[in-house]
Amino acid sequence: MTDALRTKLHPSRFPKMTPQLGAVMGFLLGEALTEPAISALSVTPDGHVIALPVGADGIEHAIYIGSVADLRANLRRLGMAAGLDDAQWAAFEGLVRERVGIALGGLEQS
């Protein structure tokens, strides 16, 4: 991931971003941006996303993030709001697919 892409997607650029999406973005960017930070995201067979946060005491428990459709829509809107160019969008889409297992689709899709 390029520094330019990391800067464009960083939650500090989006003051109205929810803490939950900020935690997801921290996971995608490889940074602990929330407390607790997310150590893993998983998609369930019925189309939902759960997170495994790491607490200060090191105990992990699953937290419901939402449906795959909602997370996909939120990540797509974030990428559009960030003003990603085609190459940056492709890198972002690849990162989400690799780290979460969700396909965002191209910029031209809605």
Q: What is the mean pLDDT of the chain?
A: 88
Cβ atoms within 10 Å, residue 24: 28
Given this model, what pLDDT does residue 61 score? Answer: 78
**Residue range 13-57, pLDDT digits in tens:** 999 999 999 999 999 999 888 888 888 899 999 999 999 887 645
**Residue range 86-99, pLDDT digits in tens:** 999 999 999 999 99
- Whether 44 and 50 have beta carbons less than 8 Å apart is answered as yes
Query: Under 8 Å CB-to-CB from 28, ≥6 apart: which residues?
Result: 9, 95, 96, 99, 100
Q: Residue 110 above 70 pLDDT?
A: no
37: enclosing H helix or E strand: strand 37-43
Query: In whole angstroms, what is the distance from residue 26 CA to residue 15 CA?
Result: 15
Cβ atoms within 10 Å, residue 104: 22
The whole-model pTM stands at 0.87
